[in-house]
Amino acid sequence: MDSKVYMEETEQYVLHTYNRFPVVLEKGEGVYLTDVDGKEYLDFGAGIAVFALGYGNQAYNDALKAQIDRIIHTSNLYYNVPLKEAAEKLAKVSGMDKVFFTNSGTEAIEGAIKAARKYAYLKDGRTDHEIIAMNHSFHGRSIGALSVTGNPHYQEAFRPLMGGVKFADFNDLENVKEQVTDRTCAVILETVQGEGGIYPATPEFLQGVKALCEERDILLILDEIQCGMGRTGSYFAWQQYGVEPDIMTCAKALGCGVPVGAFVLNEKVANASLVPGDHGTTYGGNPFACAAVSKVFDLFEELHVVDHVREVAPYLEQRLDELVAKYDFLSLRRGMGLMQGLVVTGRPVGELVAKALEHGLIVLSAGADVLRLVPPLVITKGDVDEMIRRLELAFQA
Ligand X SMILES: *Cc1c(COP(=O)(O)O)cnc(C)c1O
369 contacts ligand X (rule: CB under 6 A): no
Indicate which single residue of 46, 63, 201, 225 sits in contact with ligand X (rule: CB under 6 A): 225
Range in contact with ligand X (rule: CB under 6 A) among 75-83, 132-140, 167-175, 340-348: 132-140
Closer by beta carbon to ligand X, 133 or else 394: 133
Confirm or reject binding of residue 337 to ligand X (CB under 6 A): no
What's the rounded Cα separation, in Å, for the pair 100 and 108? Answer: 8
Phi, psi for 264 (deg, rounded to 5): -125, 130
Q: Is 194 in the site for ligand X (CB under 6 A)?
A: yes
Select the residue interacting with ligand X from 43, 85, 190, 386 (CB under 6 A): 190
Measure the CA–CA gap between 5 and 25, rounded to whole angstroms. Answer: 14
- State yes or no: residue 43 binds ligand X (CB under 6 A): no
Q: Greatest CA separation found in the chain?
A: 62
From 60, 100, 101, 138, residue interacting with ligand X (rule: CB under 6 A):
138
Local structure of 268: helix, strand or coil:
helix
343 strand-pairing partners: 332, 370
Sheet holding 219-223, edge to edge: 98-102, 261-265, 247-250, 219-223, 184-190, 130-134, 165-168
Q: Which is nearer to ligand X, 111 or 140 (CB)?
A: 140
- The reply to whether 251 sits near ligand X by the rule CB under 6 A is yes
Which of 86, 85, 83 has the alpha carbon at shortest distance from 287? 83
Which residues between 85 and 114 bind ligand X (CB under 6 A)? 104-106, 109
CB atoms within 10 A of CB 268: 13
**Residue from the set 45, 140, 144, 200 that interacts with ligand X by CB under 6 A:** 140
Piece of 117-125, 138-146, 278-286, 306-314 that binds ligand X (CB under 6 A): 138-146
- Name the minimum Å distance from CB 259 to ligand X: 7
Residue nearest to ligand X (CB): 105
List residues bridging with 265 in a β-sheet: 98, 247
What secondary structure letter does DSSP report for 254?
G
Q: Which positions touch ligand X (CB under 6 A)?
A: 104-106, 109, 138-140, 190, 194-195, 223, 225-226, 251-252, 261
